[in-house]
Amino acid sequence: MCLGTSPSGNSNGTYRGCVDYRKLNTITKTNSYPMPRIGELHQYTNKGCVMTSIDLRNGYRQVMTLDRDKTAFVTAFDTYRFKQMPFGLKNAPPTFQRLTDRFRAGVSLQDVTILDYLDDLLVISDSFDKYLLDLRAVFNRLIQAFIQATSKQT
């Protein structure tokens, strides 16, 4: 395991560990769930006058891992396994995209225009009054689904 080496680092000054899963990824069967294309999502943004972006807090870490032994890593202190889905797994993006697609398809969101791309949701409304109703529906659905959002981008 190594500490994140991003040149910009985390904006809040914290470290984020990462594990090199390249060997595991070479033997992992590919999850062929379709990922949205930014260009296709962009066409929907022209139809609304009020938009809000919602960042799902530590998105992948909100998904429980069934094959915990496969996520094991060794440090100088001990061997650890992730309980939640870590970054770096080959099928993490399609798994999380499937979760957000299912969230978006919820019955309580039928009249809400909501786009999802990995750990970001974009709520689009055609009036301010509808916007307030849409946000209420989305946040209620987040609570029902036990999905956490953050007010600060990290």
The more confidently predicted of residues 51 and 13 is: 51
pLDDT: which is higher, 46 or 112 = 112
Cβ 121 vs Cβ 139: under 8 Å:
no
Average pLDDT, the chain: 80
Q: Is the pTM of this model over 0.85?
A: no
Q: Which residue has the higher pLDDT, 87 or 131?
A: 131
Contact 62, 124 (CB under 8 A): no
Task: Find all residues with CB under 8 Å of 55, minimum gap 6, and list them.
Answer: 119, 120, 149, 150, 153
Confidence of residue 64 (pLDDT cuts 50, 70, 90): confident
Q: Which amino acid is at 99?
A: L
How far, in Å, CA of 80 to CA of 4, rounded?
18
Query: Which residues share a beta bridge with 2?
Result: 18
Residues 1-50 have pLDDT tens digits of 444 444 445 666 776 677 888 999 999 999 888 887 777 776 766 666 88
* Sign of the dihedral defined by the CA atoms of residues 137, 143, 145, 148, in that order: positive
Q: What pLDDT score does 8 carry?
A: 45
The whole-number average pLDDT for the span 130-147 is 89
104 confidence band (pLDDT: 50, 70, 90): confident
Percent of the chain at pLDDT above 70?
80
Element (H, E) at 80: strand 79-80
* Strands of the 113-117 sheet, one edge to the other: 113-117, 120-125, 50-56, 149-150
pLDDT at 154: 45
Look at residue 6 in the predicted model and tell me its pLDDT. 47
Class of domain 2-150: alpha beta
Which residues face 17 on adjacent strands?
A: 3
